[in-house]
Amino acid sequence: MTRIQRDASAHRQKLLNGLEAKLGYTFTHRDLLESALTHASVGDGAKRKAGASDNERLEFLGDRVLGLMVAEALMEAFPDAAEGEMSQRLHGLVSRETCAAIAQQLGVGPALRLAVGETRSGGRSNLTILGDACEALIAAVYVDGGFDAARKAFLPLWQPHIRSGHDRSHLNPKSHLQEWAAQQKLPAPKYEVVKREGPDHAPIFTVAVGLEGYDPVSATGKSRQDAEKAAALRFIENEGLN
């Protein structure tokens, strides 16, 4: 191993150790952590060298683990809430935007394994990539240590969002934005799909919301509806309309 390779390996270990420290969880099987941080753009040779697969399967599992974890927390936090309200809260809390925010809090971006082209195009700060990696991390902890370990590592990161996510702007951002526009005597917000990428079975939509007199704001989601809600919420947060 050359000096450059040794330095790169030491830097990699430092990043992984830092991520484990922030999670408060040490992996028994480090390959799970590596897989959770490996984007599908990474070539097969690089994956084999790292002893990892990409994170798509873990992301699939993590989405389900996160849903159960947050649903349990909502049941405890809002014992009198109706099912419809709980569903709205859950939708926002497991959204790509929230997962990406948690990933940024953990410092996931620098630890991601990405193809060179993906890195150059800003992949380390891409909300879709960060959100998927966050869900994959949840699954990695779940597979390595069980549901209790995943809940202990991640639920504290979600608690501030659970406590603050009760306002209507987060529960139904599109309706909130439309009503605000009407109050300002503005035309209704307009939503436009500006990009659709990914395979047919797992597309990623980027939607921009436009409102007269304001710059368009865009966000991503696994469906057009999710992307529209995320864009509306981002607009609300950017303009301080909560």
Binding residues are 59, 132, 135
Rounded Cα distance between 224 and 40, Å, is: 22
Q: Report the binding-site residues for Mg(2+).
A: 59, 132, 135
Q: Which of 63, 118, 144, 228 is catalytic?
A: 63
Q: Which tokens hold the place of 100?
A: 């990406």
Helix, strand or coil, per DSSP, at residue 114: coil
Is 135 among the catalytic positions? yes
Question: How many C-beta atoms surround the C-beta of residue 214 within 10 A?
Answer: 14
Nearest to 224 by CA among 238, 242, 237, 206: 206
Q: Which of 34, 54, 97, 135 is catalytic?
A: 135
How far are the Cα atoms of 76, 88, 119 from residue 172, in angstroms, in the given order? 22, 7, 34
Q: Residue 218 in contact with residue 233, Cβ under 8 Å? A: no
Rounded Cα distance between 189 and 192, Å, is: 10
Q: Residue 230 in contact with residue 96, Cβ under 8 Å? A: yes
Active site residues: 63, 135
